[in-house]
Structure 1
Amino acid sequence: MTKFPVYNICNISASSTPPDEDILVEDFAQYISRHYAKLNYPHRHAFYHVVLFTAGKGTHTIDFKTFPVVAGQAYFMIPGQVHGWQFEGKVEGYIINFSETFFKSFLLNSSYLDQFSFFSGNCDEGVIQLKGPLHKEGELLMNEMLKAAEGRPVHEDLIRVLLLRFLILADEASGKKVANSIPNQKVLTLKTFRNLIEKNYRLLKLPNEYAALMYITPHHLNALCQDLTGQTAGELIRDRVILEAKRLLVNEEMTAAEIAWNLNFKDASYFNRFFKKATGLTPFEFRKQIK
């Protein structure tokens, strides 16, 4: 079975420098000049991925949704998301890749990054436009991180501080400030639900099954999801199943029946109906469209 390539920080680092398993900060034009041949094809990362564009244009597709690239735009991606680039001419900016453990020895709160809406895995929330003073400050922070990364040894703690400042700045630009506007317990409950979906979406497809795992009522779970996301619990589960189905449909060697089996549907016809109801296309039509 063909799968999306999965890159880690070491196998995507500059060959002229010793690889670091936890952090990579680089000028975006240089990064692309080395990797564009493979990064324009859909792929996954095993790390957090942050990009700030300062010049150039093109498109960036994240989990089958395409965004235009413009100056001042910041992208935030979590491990496992699928994306690819298509640029028109030269682009400039900064890129930061960091591991899931990069902040864990630095912050007492191991789930600190969960407060940022742009790290939810929702591609719409992961694209933020920095304007005016925020754009200028964002560039300055990125440039300081680049300098810290070019030193030997790499000043990782300085990069951590600067990166946290950039994340807080982006949170301000997003206008959401989740941590300040929503009680922390609600945020943690939603995060727990999303983590459970990520681990169990192939086997569990009903809200009451997840509510039982969380020791809350299905009504409470549904109300919380609608309050924080505008979607029902069932819709969040469905969207994750559909996303995985789309990822698998890119692999042309897999038949619809094999994908249905992979996602634990009782048969291919039920999977086809489920997919068409959610997307308006049959699996075959979707596969043909993305070609």
Structure 2
Amino acid sequence: MNIPSPTSSVRLVAIPRLSAGGRWRVEAMRSLSEPCLLWFTKGQGRITIAGVTRGYTTNNAIFIPAGVMHGFEAGPQVFGTAVFFGRDSEVVLPQTPLHLRIREVHAQQEVNVLLDSILRELESDTPAHDRATTHYLGLLGVWLERQARKADPAEAARPTATRRLVTRYTSLLERNFRTGMGVADFAAALGVTPTHLTRCCNAACGRPASALLQDRRIFEARKLLSETRLPVGRIAEQLGFNSAAYFTRAFQHLTGKSPSAFRRGI
């Protein structure tokens, strides 16, 4: 019996390659089933994590735990590395998102060396390369922890009530976006009015609550259209739309294409 290596699902991917199938793959709201580290070495843009939008630039390290909704701008001048730790990673990693602005040159060099070492071991067939990869990943986890402890206290300030609510909303949305729940349903579950929820989302990320919900559902629709042969009606049903016609209108409104046209263009 073949037992998968503990590092077999670890991947290092150049950030520009993440959007090779379309910028929607990184810019639309979605979550991953594994922890991820984004290390930006060039360029700038905005990133939304758990409904809160901030700017990122060169030498920013952004850690996103599994299941946390996020999306980021990936323009042509943005470069860096994404580290995917795998679903069953045993590396000790932060439990909450981190956005670290790494100003010390030594710390920048340290993470670059770690990433180069991980990639070299992943591509190697020398003895014990799996074990070496695991140890380097562990050191990367230590690096994250140390940088988080050194972060500017102003940047790590306690979240406001607005941000806490939006974070709770995106967490609930991530678990239930396929159910057909609307913003009013989510607001009721959170104990607030739809107007208050939308006001908080606008303040945290510049988008209303309905836009985050639709973006998440349409991302999943594009993923299913591009990666499966499920009929459009079945996709609409899986994502909680009342009808295939309503799904088609919503999809076309957000993407500029009908679901069928989008699939043909893949």
- Determine the structure 1 residue equivalent to 2:75: none
Amino acid at match of 1:180: A
- Determine the structure 1 residue equivalent to 2:206: 230
1:22-47 residue CA offsets vs partner (Å, 9 max, x unmatched): xx6x9x5xx99xxx9xxx899x9632
- Does structure 2 conserve the Cα–Cα contact (< 8 Å) formed by 1:9 and 1:97? no
Kindly tell me: are residues 225 and 281 of structure 1, through their superposed partners in 2, closer, same or farther at Cα, counting changes over 3 Å?
Answer: same
CA distance in 2, matches of 1:153, 1:203: 38
CA distance in 2, matches of 1:153, 1:278: 41
Equivalent pairs, count: 215
- Determine the structure 2 residue equivalent to 1:139: 109
- Are positions 1:278 and 2:254 aligned together? yes
Amino acid at match of 1:285: A
For structure 2, the 5+ residue unaligned runs are: 26-30, 43-57, 72-78, 119-129
- Does structure 2 conserve the Cα–Cα contact (< 8 Å) formed by 1:241 and 1:263? yes
TM-score under structure 2 normalisation?
Answer: 0.60
- Determine the structure 1 residue equivalent to 2:36: 49
Give 3-state SS (helix, strand or coil) of 1:281's partner.
coil
CA distance in 1, matches of 2:205, 2:65: 18
Kindly tell me: are residues 283 and 141 of structure 1, through their superposed partners in 2, closer, same or farther at Cα, counting changes over 3 Å?
Answer: same
What value does the CA root-mean-square deviation take over the aligned residues? 4.6
Partner of residue 144 from structure 2, selected from 150, 159, 163: 163
CA distance in 2, matches of 1:223, 1:45: 27
Percent identity over paired residues = 21
What are the residue-to-residue correspondences of 1:1-291 with 2, within 5 Å?
A: 10=6, 12=8, 46-52=33-39, 78-79=65-66, 95=83, 97=85, 102-103=91-92, 113-114=96-97, 116=98, 134=104, 137-143=107-113, 154=135, 159-166=140-147, 177=155, 179-180=156-157, 182-183=159-160, 185-289=161-265, 291=266
Kindly tell me: are residues 212 and 102 of structure 1, through their superposed partners in 2, closer, same or farther at Cα, counting changes over 3 Å?
Answer: farther
Give 3-state SS (helix, strand or coil) of 2:248's partner.
helix
CA distance in 1, matches of 2:251, 2:90: 36
- Larger RCO (CA under 8 A, 6+ residues apart): 2
Give 3-state SS (helix, strand or coil) of 2:219's partner.
helix
Amino acid at match of 1:218: P
- Does structure 1 conserve the Cα–Cα contact (< 8 Å) formed by 2:39 and 2:62? yes
Kindly tell me: are residues 103 and 288 of structure 1, through their superposed partners in 2, closer, same or farther at Cα, counting changes over 3 Å?
Answer: same
- Does structure 2 conserve the Cα–Cα contact (< 8 Å) formed by 1:94 and 1:142? no
Kindly tell me: are residues 226 and 117 of structure 1, through their superposed partners in 2, closer, same or farther at Cα, counting changes over 3 Å?
Answer: farther
Kindly tell me: are residues 283 and 134 of structure 1, through their superposed partners in 2, closer, same or farther at Cα, counting changes over 3 Å?
Answer: farther
Amino acid at match of 2:6: C
Amino acid at match of 1:274: A
Amino acid at match of 2:143: L
